[in-house]
Every structure is written in structure tokens, then in C-alpha cells.
Chain A
Amino acid sequence: MTRAIPITAVHVFALAAACSRPTAPPQQTATPAGPASEAGATGRTVAAAEALLATLDAGGRGKLELAFDAEQRAKWSNFPVGIYPRSGVRWGDLSATQRDAALNLLAAALSKPGLEKVQQIMEGDEVLKRAEAGHDRGPIGGGPPGGGAPRDGRPGGMGSPKFGRDEYYLALLGTPSVTQPWMIQFGGHHLAINVTIVGARSVLTPSLPAAQPAVYEVDGQAVRPLGRENDRSFALINALDAAQQSKAILPYQVSDLVLGPGEDGKTIQPEGIKASELNAAQQRMLLDLAHEWVGILNDEAAAAKMAEIAANLPQTWFAWSGPTTNGSSAYFRIQGPTLVIEYSPQRARGGSGLDLGHIHTVYRDPTNDYGARLVPR
């Protein structure tokens, strides 16, 4: 009887603690980020980063190497350079040797298709720049030409939109390491790649692959930087039966990304159809669609992330807004406990609907943007 009080107290507090936990926590890749092997993706990426640093002088290294702080990590955008200044080394300022080293770094951190997508997006920006120059329309919105006087007196010539292949910036946040957290930031007008690396683990969220034009030609071949994303999404929505489509298709227009740049740390209420209501083939199509973003990252990291997404599939939603005929413009969103993907054709001028040739997308993990689960606070 004398033990009754402590036993009762322990029982009550244990019950309270149990009730305070979420009832259905999302499946996360919870293994701690241990040290990476030299042969793994992190080891190769660190070696490539060190090789790039070796090609730069002190001034270049000073631009490339930044502090691994929260403020810098969140500095990314889809706006052109000038309107939204980037940090790091400018692609157009690198020598051929330095560019090769920078490409080697991206190749180590990303997958082969991921690097190809990045290069196609960069080239698309170059196509857009030439088209703008050819039409002599000046930069965005008819403002002053690139390199012109700042419109509002912002220092450093900022205020004039600049874009194109040369207007991409690469930065390393923190010291490249197989044990300590660091990050690769690479971006320009229609691309923001943020790779946080902690030991053997790499995280690509948040990132923003976009494209304008969505289709262009090189050597007579059509290039569609986000073409697979488009085609897989239309294939999926058309694989749903009428009852499933009635749940998946939102009865309202979505004109922009909901969780684009600057919207860190927010989770909107999911909508559409739950993946648990899809059959196995449709679920496979949904996973393949998600892989178009996840698979930008190197194969090791992407495989781990895809396993996590697959484990959370029953709690994952797919929502669609717009027509379902491929070749038309439609918005879609995939949202799960550890995943948000949005694909958003941008508004055309004159309120005439969405522009098929101008796509923005965003890829987030509400639990692990910037490696939040891995980086010690």
C-alpha cells in the first residue's frame, strides 16, 4: 500500500505523456545523419566543392563561401537578378575552368537528369533574354534596360532586372564537410536549388525549378525543361475515373504558387483526392510524378526521400485545377506529411488565363526545409 502513491503518480503522468504525442506521426527518415564515406555522394560533393575553391583566388572564394546562417539559407527567389540580388559567384564571371569545376560540383550533388534539367532551365533563361533583346522590348515590364540606372536608387546597380545564363549565382554556405552541415545555393531567374548536406544525408527542399519558355529548340530539337512533369501530371489526372476526378479537380482557379519563395514554415490544409483512394497503378504514377522533383537530387538521397514519400502515401493528396487535356494549362499540387510540390503556369497578360509557356514550380518538405530535421539548432 505504501507504494500506491508513486505508482499512481507514474501511471497518471505516463498516460498524460502518451496522450500528448501526435496520434499518427508522419514517416520520416529518422536515422541520424552519420558521417559520410569518401566514396558516397557527400564525399564526392565535398571533393568537388574543394576542387572548385582551389580554382578561385581569394576574392572569388570570399564570394563563394558564405556563413551557414538561417538568413542566407532563406535568400532565394524566382525574380531576376537585380530585382532580387543573389549572393555567391556569378556564372558569367567564371572562367571556363571554374565553370567546369562548378558544373562538377552540381553533377556530384545532383543526379544526371537533375543536372540536365538545371542546364535546360538556364538555357531557357538565355533564350528568353535573346527573345527580349530581339523584340527590343527591354526588360521585364518595360523598365530600364539591363545594367541601366537603378530605378529607386538601390545601391550596386540593383533595381534593373537581369537574367540569362550568365546571371546565375553559386554559393557555398558553411565549409564543405562530410560531417558538419553545409549548403549549396544555386540559382537565377527561373531556378533556385538549395541542397543542404549533413553527413551522408542531402536535402533538396526548398527548391524552385521553373521555365520560360517552357519549350524551345536547340539544333532542331525541342527542349522542354519541365516537359516530363507536365506529361506525367496529365497522364495521372486522365488515369483517374470520373469519381476520382471529381475529388481531385478543384472547382476554382489557382493563379500562382501558394507556398513559393518567402513562404517558409507554412502548411496549408491539403485538398483534392487522397492517394489512399487511388489504385496501385495510379499511386505508382503519383510517385513517378513526385520523383521528377525528388530525383533532381543525387540518386542516393533521392532514393531515401522516395522511400519516405512512399511510406506516407496514404496521407498524401493530389489536387488539380484547370482543364485535363494535355496541351492546356493546369495547376496541380502534391501534398503529404513530408512533401509539397506545386506546378503553377503563370498568368498570361490581359487576364486571358494561364500561360502555357511560363511555368513555376516549388518543392518543399514542411518538416525538413533547409534540412531542419538534420541541422542542430
Chain B
Amino acid sequence: MTRLAAGLLCVCALRATAAAHVLDEYLQVAQIALSPDGVGVELRLVPGVQVADRIFAQLDLDHDGQLAPAEQQAYAQRVLQDVALDVDGRRATLALTAAGFPSRGELADGVGAIRLTFSAPAALGTPGDHRVEFRNRHLPELGVYLANVLVPDSDHIVVTRQQRDPWQRELRVECSARRDARGWVWWAGAWSFGVCLVVLLPWRSRRFTDAAARWRARGHRPS
């Protein structure tokens, strides 16, 4: 540390760029969650510092410098129109379930993330193979994309294949739903238990009847 601190520091091939991240693009991160009864889509949208004003202008419809709830809702609906989800070849109806918007200052600093969560019902738990396709066409002239599917929480859905276009605007996920092994075991257990009851209860009932008869024969009577 001392040597480094005392040393003459110079930069090798360091361009005169600032230290930030995606500066002049609009990072759009999609994470897809599969469950037996639906698909969740979480979008994290981060405008770079150099395009933040353009994005804010699209958000701030009345140009008052503030993001009113109605303006946030309007932007979320616009994004919703720009994305599409197909399940097994049919268009799924995505609904906005949550939205979070950063402050204008965070957007201006290039660190503000717009977080939108959508969900759509889908029978992915039905045993067999399924296909989920997600497309993001939001502001393609600015966008740089990431799209990933999360490991399903449910053991019964297994992702078998993923495909993307070179820019990650499109993600196609193939998955397979297995029959619920635990469900089978519980049904088998309940069935076995029922059979035992059917077989054993009459036998135990007969033993009880015999014992009561012997008890009465000894001169007792039930009260």
C-alpha cells in the first residue's frame, strides 16, 4: 500500500471517461419466474446518465418536474405494451402487480432503477412440456438488455432449455412439469390407511362385541 501510495501513478490506456456504468444506453433487465400456476416478470429499467433526461421526459407527461402516480402508471402501461409473453404458443395476459420509481435525482445520476413487476396466469404445473417466450421491444434505440429465467421455486417445474436472440431482447424457455411425487405418496398413503381401516375396524368391532358378551355372561350389565 505504501509503495503504491508513494508511487507515481499514471494511467495506461485510460480514456477520459467517467467511472460509471451504462452511460448512454437504457439497461433493461428482465427476470422470469415460473410457477405451477403462472409466470412472473420483473423488469429493472436503469437509464444511463446521458439518456436519463430523455427517459424522464417520457415519464413526466405534464412537464412539471415531478412523477405523479398517474404518470408512473402510464409509463408502466407503456412498457406493458412493449413487452409480450407467450405460453405454449398463446399470448398470455400480463398484469402489472407492482411498480417502483426512483427520484428524479437518482435518475439524473444514472443510478435510478424503475422496477416493474408483472404476472400472468399459466398452467405450467400441468404435467408435460411447456414453452414460455418473453419479448422486450421497449425503446430499442436506447436499450441494452438482459433476460434470465430464475430457478423455479417449485420442484415440479424443471427448465430444460433456454434460447435468446443475440441482444437478449427475446428469451425462450422450455420447461417440463413433473407429476407431484409427494402428492402421489400422500394419495397412496391415504388409500392404504383407508384400506387398513376398512379391513381392521370390523375385526376390532367383532372382538369388542365378543368381549362385551363375555362381560355380560359374568353377570354385569351395562348401565
Contact = CB atoms under 8 A, between A and B. Distances in A.
A120 B4 CA distance: 8
A213 interface: yes
Nearest to A221: B7
Interface string B138-155: 000000111011110001
B3 A351 contact: no
B18 A141 contact: yes
Contacts of A285: none
Interface string B72-116: 000000000000000000000000000000011110111101000
Contacts of A141: 18, 20, 23, 49-50, 109-110
B11 A131 contact: yes
Interface in B181-198: 181-182, 185-186, 188-189, 192-193, 196-197
A121 B99 CA distance: 36
Interface stretch (B24-32, B119-127, B214-222): B24-32
A22 B17 contact: no
A132 B204 CA distance: 90
A100 to B, nearest CB: 10
Given A127-B14, A131-B11, A137-B18, A347 B25 contact: yes
Given A12-B193, A151-B109, A127 B9 contact: yes
A150 B108 CA distance: 12
B24 A271 contact: no
Contact of B18 (A22, A139, A219): A139
Given A141-B20, A251-B164, A130 B13 contact: no
A376 interface: no
Given A22-B155, A141-B50, A347-B21, A159 B16 contact: no
Contacts, number: 196
Contacts of A119: 1, 4
B19 A154 contact: no
B9 A140 contact: no
A8 B22 CA distance: 63
B208 interface: no
Interface in A159-208: 159, 161, 163, 165, 189-190
Interface in A1-41: 1-2, 4-5, 8-9, 12-13, 15-16, 19-20, 22
B20 A347 contact: no
Nearest to B115: A262
A255 B110 contact: no
A365 B167 CA distance: 27
Greatest chain B CB density within 10 A among A13, A84, A250, A255 is at A255
Contacts of B150: 266-269
A349 interface: yes
A256 B22 contact: yes
Contacts of A140: 18-20, 49, 109-110
Interface in A242-294: 250-256, 258, 262, 266-269, 271
A357 interface: yes
A366 to B, nearest CB: 9
Contact of A123 (B4, B19, B110): B4
A222 interface: yes
A9 B193 contact: yes
A241 interface: no
B186 A16 contact: yes
Contacts of A218: 3-4, 7-9
Interface in A215-246: 215-219, 222-223
B200 A1 contact: yes
B159 interface: yes
Contact of B14 (A78, A83, A103, A213): A213
A59 interface: no
B22 A217 contact: no
A256 B143 CA distance: 13
B19 A216 contact: no
A252 B168 contact: yes
Given A143-B49, A152-B105, A256-B22, 14 more contacts: A4-B196, A13-B189, A15-B185, A15-B189, A84-B111, A128-B19, A152-B106, A213-B11, A216-B11, A223-B4, A256-B27, A256-B29, A269-B148, A357-B14
14 contacts: A12-B188, A78-B21, A80-B19, A128-B19, A159-B109, A161-B19, A213-B12, A215-B13, A216-B12, A222-B12, A252-B165, A253-B167, A268-B148, A269-B149
- 8 A-B pairs with the lowest CB-CB distances in the bound complex, closest first: A152-B105, A141-B49, A12-B189, A218-B7, A135-B16, A140-B18, A140-B20, A268-B148
